[in-house]
Every structure is written in C-alpha cells, then in structure tokens.
Structure 1
Amino acid sequence: MSDDIKPWYKQFWPWFLIGLLLSSITFSLIYLAFSIRFYDGSVGGDYYERGLAINEQLAKQEHAQALGLAARLRVDNRTGDVVVDLAGPRQPERLHLALIFPTDSDFDRELTLQHVREGRYVTTLDEPLRHRWYLQLQPEAGEGAEWRLTGEASFPSDDEAELEPGL
C-alpha cells in the first residue's frame, strides 16, 4: 500500500478554495470602488417631515388646477432657448423652472424665466439637455410657491412638453 501522496500545492481542492477566497476579495474591492465613485447620497435626517410635506405639494397642484393653469415648454437645443407659454389668469413677472434628472441629483437644474409678453416666458440654457427630465414650474423658487405645474420631457426634441397640475 504505497500511496503516492502529492504535496498540498499540487492538489486541486486547496487551489479551488483559495480561488474562491481571492475572487470574493476581488469582487468586494470592485463593488467598493463603484460605491465610492457613484455615491448617490443618503437618506436625509428629515425624511419624515419631507413625507408629510407631500400633502402641501398636492395642495399646490390642486390650487393650480382650480386657477385653470397650464403651460407648454419648448427647448431649442441648438440655441439654448427655453420658452414657456403659460395659460391662465395669473401672469407673474418671472417663473421658476426646476429640471429634475430622475437618477442623479447632481444633474438637476433650476432656471428663472422672464416674462416677455402676454403669457410667454424665456430664458437660455448654458448647455444642451439630454435624456429624460421631470419638470416643475412655479411662480417662485422654493417651497413657499402658491402653485405648481408638473410634467416630463425627453431631450433633444422638437416637441412641446405639456405642464399641467398633476395630481
């Protein structure tokens, strides 16, 4: 009974187990690098208050609906012009347009549009828009606005985006 026992480093199972260990370490380091590079923020400490504020946002949209407000938005990506035509009884001197990128808040933009004539507001973009955006139109920036119109659009596009009191 002379079995020829090979040394451990010439056998399959030790290398298989070492390979599993090294692959798990490698993938863990890759995931760590991705999580650091593409950090998407954390849940804010005031998440409960933000949740309660949803009722206020709905009230703003209901108020816009009661006023009969609606708007159309056009963006010319060649010139950077943003034109909003607001229909309704209220025509403030300026409007606040929030462009919200669905997946990364670093791309969000806030624009102030100036009233140029009856119901028409204009501003200019610094750089062209790409992909899909959520749109929020208010008479002033911040949470204190009286009403809000919402919509969504994909850019570049020659089509108009409709902004309505969404509920």
Structure 2
Amino acid sequence: MKSSWYKEPWAWLVFILPFTAVVAGIATYIIANHEPDSLVVGDYYKKGKSINLEVSKVKQAQKLGMRFALQFKNNELVIKPTGIEKIFPLLNVNFFHPTQEGKDFYLALTPDGNGYFRHHFEENIDGKWKVTLTPFENHWKIHNTISLPQHDFIDLIPDPTKAQ
C-alpha cells in the first residue's frame, strides 16, 4: 500500500528548509529597506571629489595661517581670530552632531568691535560637536571636533587629516 507524500516527515523536511530560507530572505530585504541608513552615500565618486576639494580648502587655510580660538560658557559662544591680522566681515560656523542629524545647525556671525564673533544661545548645547569655520567667500575651511562647554579658549587650527 502506497502512502501519500504529505504523510511522510522527510518530504516536509525537504520542503520546509528552502521555504524558511525564502521567508527569511524576504524579511531581511523588508527590514533593510524600511528605513535606509542616512550615513550611506550613494555616489562615492562625487563624494570623493568633494572630500579632495575640502582638503584643498583646509590646506589653503593652513597656508594663509588661519587660526581661531573658541570658548563656550554660560550659553555664549565666542570665536576670536588668533595670529592673523585680517578682519572678516562674516564667519560661517556649522555645528554637526556626530550621531543626531536633527541637532545640526548653522550660524553666520559678524564681528563685534573687538573682532570677536559672538552668539548667545537660549538653550544649552553640551556634548561633542564637529565644528566647521569658513569665510563668506568659502575659499578656506577649518574643521575640528570639540566638546562643549569650554570654559577656556581652545584652538581651532586647520588640519588636513581632519578634513571632511
């Protein structure tokens, strides 16, 4: 007497293994594409070219002798030029949070009577930040990672190894 195929346990084992792999693959695909990682770059060549451009801007800042000192205490940011005589009509300051893109912000600061760039914040911005300084013309750049608050002035100097 012949039994039906669906009554055999080995037949189910042969069918269930590939079926499980297909279901796991579909689930993995759905999970991976549900919320793509915002840190992944699609056009690597274009990103590489822009990194090279940024490195040349940092080298330009180094060549010009650009140096600044930054202090943040009592919710006031103070940036002062050090070692350079040039007066800047505008300084672009970008703050990038290393893990939370929504906290990033930009400041366009003009100098006060002493040549210092100041900004008062309503709320505290403690923590680790990547700070980028550029002039209005955007022909040089200084990029550093800092931790706030800073009661003493810290130096911001151009370093081509940190350009990004």
**Structure 1: how far apart are the matches of 2:115 and 2:47?**
32
Whether 1:60 and 2:57 are equivalent positions in the alignment is yes
- Structure 1 residue runs of 4 or more that deviate by more than 4 Å after TM superposition: none
Instruction: State the TM-score, normalizing by the size of structure 2.
Output: 0.68
2:110 counterpart (104, 114, 124): 114
| RMSD of equivalent CA atoms | 2.4
1:85 aligned residue: 80
The C-alpha deviation readout for 1:54-113, integer Å capped at 9, x for no partner, is: 11111111111111110001112x3x2211001324322111111111112111111121
Which AA in structure 1 matches 2:150? S
Instruction: State the TM-score, normalizing by the size of structure 1.
Output: 0.67
Aligned residues: 130
**5+ residue gaps, structure 2:** 1-26
**Structure 2: how far apart are the matches of 1:44 and 1:55?**
16
1:134 aligned residue: 130
Which AA in structure 2 matches 1:82? L
**5+ residue gaps, structure 1:** 1-27
Deviation of residue 156 (structure 1)? 2.4
Greater relative contact order structure (CA < 8 Å, 6+ sep): 2
Question: Residues 124 and 112 of structure 1: is their aligned pair in 2 closer, same or farther, counting only changes over 3 Å?
Answer: farther
**Structure 2: how far apart are the matches of 1:42 and 1:74?**
29
After the TM superposition, which residues 1-167 of structure 1 pair with which residues of structure 2 at under 5 Å, given as runs?
Answer: 40-41=37-38, 43-76=40-73, 78=74, 80-87=75-82, 88-140=84-136, 145-167=138-160
**Structure 2: how far apart are the matches of 1:101 and 1:40?**
16
Between the two proteins, what is the percent identity of the paired residues? 26
1:3 aligned residue: none
